[in-house]
Structure 1
Amino acid sequence: MRNDSPIRVAVIGFGTAGRFFHAPFLAADPAYDLRLIITGDPDRQAAARAAHPSATVAATADAVTAHASDLDLVVVGTPPSTHVELAGNALRAGLDVVVDKPFTPTAAEGRKLIALAAELGRRLTVFQNRRWDADFRTLRRLIADGRLGTVHAFESRFEWWRPDGLGGWKGETGVADGGGILFDLGTHLIDQALQLFGPVTEVLADVNRRDPRAGCDADDDTVVILRHACGTSSRLTMSSVAALPGPRFRVLGSRNGYVKHGLDGQEAALKAGTSPADPAFGREPEDCWGRLGQGHETTPVEPERGNYAEFYRLLALALRDGADLPVDPGDAVDVLDVIERAHTNAKK
């Protein structure tokens, strides 16, 4: 690949991941050429053709290997039980690979994929896009600037109210195949905690399935507590049955606390059809800003801009110039290690 030539991309899967989290950013970034979209669903095929008329739409992933000589990069945005096979096939076809989270159903499978990529001389990364949420970027800045002091308690939540149950693979796939809310949202919450506070020495978990129509063991209401080697305790809550959600972040330090309500707005904007190129994309309205302070004396904190596009900007530098990957796949394996410990400890 010439450094000035567009990176030729295939996206496998055109559900939520492929349609909203990958294809729009690839289409908006001149460093990429979205050439191929794979989906077997007729409605999604029609949506792909309408949104990306210059891309070829095919029904099966066989088209990736058939057209490998015309591609440089494959993005795997399918259910986690398919990640190992699809990513492995792409690597063996001589292509670099992005895998959506959760990376693989087990940490052992993730390690094997990393080893395969190294053996073949290919680049492999994982789409941990929540590292570029506006609120998370803001929190990183506050910690780096010392405005919180030493953080001793970190509370982080993804909660919503879906009493009819989780849809798709998240609620219908067993834990052994990467199903459930801990694999779905826990990958983000755990990754953020590890990025902020480093390795963990202890994992506690309360893992539940509240949906009475359960046909598998996929959890929908889970709390994980991490004790980090640095001394910080992280309490991570993920639930689809939270009638009244708590704050997105509540962080307590030796100097100040920080509280942030509401979710990052990038996902909602993408689903509403907003282009990542829109000047307002990723900017939080003032009434959504978090607050910093002590007791009743708090002040609003102007947030960093949310920027999921940064993942693909950094990836282009990695593929063209040999720079660091936007996400080290080893980080994703560390997250899977924590998830496995959480599921194991919850059964004790």
Structure 2
Amino acid sequence: MQLVKVGLCAFGMSGKVFHAPFLKQHPGFFLSAIVERSKEESKLQYPDAVIYHSVEEMLQNADVDLIVVNTPVQTHFEYTKMVLEAGKNVIVEKPFAVNVEEAEELVRIAESKNLFLSVYQNRRFDRDYLQVQKIISEGKLGAIKEVEIRFDRFRTEPSAKEHKENPELNGSGAVHDLGSHLVDQATQLFGFPEKTFADIFPMKGQNYANDYFEILLYYKNDVRVRLKSSAFTKEDHFAYKIHGDKGSFLQERSDNQENELVAGAIPLYGKDWVKPLAESDGILNYSDENSESKRVTTLSEQGNYMNYYQQIYEHIVFGYVLPSLGSEVVQNMKIIEAAIESSKKGKVIDLN
């Protein structure tokens, strides 16, 4: 098996949870370099990886084929550009960048150097999203008319992460963070919308970045897709509500990969590794081909973030399609930027 050597730009939460474990377990990758500015926490679990104290030092000295930029969003442009100019393929975490201009420049650099640039949209591999994708593709709901996708949390106290909480920093707040997932799922399911209208503000107060948003996407044929998130939601049931002219589908946000990884779960290669659900997590209510009404509970199949890295590996070795390529995710950035403009101006923004 061809071995792909990888460098990791940071060993914080994302490095420990979303990247290093998968790179270690996938037989086609070798995690050979990790940036830790002042600590050496990775040495115990990843003794074969060389620790560097800056991204610049890693680029100058490490023998790697691929680099993961998993630093705060405000540094994505700087580091991704640095990696590309050093001739390395790159995976950059969402949000891609703080604005469209930065994202487009990174895409241009990657294309000019014949390198690949993929954005780590791991929520495409959540069990709940995959179930929604499956139900829509089966056509049981008929023509889709109205959709709501939510990603709520109950985090009423500000975190200690300056890059997420400081309203003065471009890219801070829920719209760039959780909004990147919701916008991505909307465009994956329904394509690029025609217009948008948004309400975005900080529920914790003006000293903090936005932690609430509602983004309305206008599609052709009067289809509406609503994206919502709040940091003040103690309890919520269905994260996805899909309504068509033949029925409705309600789906809970049931994927537990992040929680299991934080708790120390080891992701397996080629196998399911998350705990199975104890009960159903969806409701499908539709009219069948005989116009008879049917209401059934559904159980989503397991998701697996390993599939993202498997697709990356297959692109490198076999030339298969690259997952979430930068030129595709730039479109998501355009929606996020337009939503912010809409909220500030209080008007609908034409995306065309």
Local SS of the residue matching 1:83:
helix
Q: What is residue 76 of structure 1 aligned with on the other side?
A: 69
**In structure 1, C-alpha distance between the alignment counterparts of 2:164 and 2:59, rounded to whole Å:** 31
Residue type at the aligned position of 2:104? R
**In structure 1, C-alpha distance between the alignment counterparts of 2:99 and 2:333, rounded to whole Å:** 6
**In structure 1, C-alpha distance between the alignment counterparts of 2:237 and 2:197, rounded to whole Å:** 20
Provide closer, same or farther for how the CA distance between residues 116 and 142 of structure 1 changes in structure 2, counting only shifts above 3 A. same
> Alignment partner for residue 227 of structure 2, among 212, 225, 236?
236
> Alignment partner for residue 93 of structure 2, among 94, 97, 100?
100
Local SS of the residue matching 1:251:
strand
1:32 CA displacement:
0.3
- Alpha carbons 1:64, 1:90 under 8 Å: kept: no
Deviations 1:153-209 (A, max 9, x none): 111111111111244145324365211000000000000001101111111111010
Local SS of the residue matching 1:248:
strand
- Alpha carbons 1:171, 1:220 under 8 Å: kept: no
**In structure 1, C-alpha distance between the alignment counterparts of 2:32 and 2:8, rounded to whole Å:** 8
Residue type at the aligned position of 2:87? G
The answer to whether structure 1 residue 54 and structure 2 residue 48 are counterparts is: yes
Q: Kindly, what percent of the aligned residue pairs are identical?
A: 29
Q: What is residue 251 of structure 1 aligned with on the other side?
A: 242
Residue type at the aligned position of 1:244? E
**In structure 2, C-alpha distance between the alignment counterparts of 1:176 and 1:334, rounded to whole Å:** 22
1:22 CA displacement:
0.9
> Alignment partner for residue 199 of structure 1, among 192, 195, 203?
192
Aligned 1:328-347 pairs, distance under 5 A: 328-347=325-344
**In structure 2, C-alpha distance between the alignment counterparts of 1:169 and 1:233, rounded to whole Å:** 34
Residue type at the aligned position of 1:63? E
- Alpha carbons 1:261, 1:288 under 8 Å: kept: no
**In structure 1, C-alpha distance between the alignment counterparts of 2:103 and 2:177, rounded to whole Å:** 16
1:50 CA displacement:
2.0
Deviations 1:294-343 (A, max 9, x none): 59963122313202111111111111222221112122111110111111
Residue type at the aligned position of 1:277? L
- Alpha carbons 1:260, 1:291 under 8 Å: kept: yes
Aligned 1:1-348 pairs, distance under 5 A: 4-42=1-39, 45-46=40-41, 48-68=42-62, 70-169=63-162, 171-174=164-167, 177-212=170-205, 214-216=206-208, 218-229=209-220, 231-277=222-268, 279-282=271-274, 284-293=276-285, 298-348=295-345
**In structure 2, C-alpha distance between the alignment counterparts of 1:222 and 1:230, rounded to whole Å:** 25
1:260 CA displacement:
1.7
1:269 CA displacement:
1.0
- TM-score, normalization: structure 2? 0.91
**In structure 2, C-alpha distance between the alignment counterparts of 1:230 and 1:10, rounded to whole Å:** 46
How many residue pairs were aligned? 339
Provide closer, same or farther for how the CA distance between residues 338 and 287 of structure 1 changes in structure 2, counting only shifts above 3 A. same
**What is the Cα-based RMSD across aligned positions, in Å?**
2.0
**In structure 2, C-alpha distance between the alignment counterparts of 1:170 and 1:89, rounded to whole Å:** 20
Q: Give the gaps of 5 or more residues in structure 2.
A: 288-292, 346-352
Q: Which moved more, 1:235-244 or 1:130-139?
A: 235-244
- Alpha carbons 2:73, 2:163 under 8 Å: kept: no
Local SS of the residue matching 1:10:
strand
**In structure 2, C-alpha distance between the alignment counterparts of 1:202 and 1:291, rounded to whole Å:** 30
Provide closer, same or farther for how the CA distance between residues 71 and 149 of structure 1 changes in structure 2, counting only shifts above 3 A. same
Provide closer, same or farther for how the CA distance between residues 183 and 134 of structure 1 changes in structure 2, counting only shifts above 3 A. same
**Runs of 4+ off more than 6 Å:** none
**In structure 2, C-alpha distance between the alignment counterparts of 1:308 and 1:230, rounded to whole Å:** 34
Residue type at the aligned position of 1:114? V
- Alpha carbons 1:262, 1:288 under 8 Å: kept: no
- Alpha carbons 2:128, 2:253 under 8 Å: kept: no
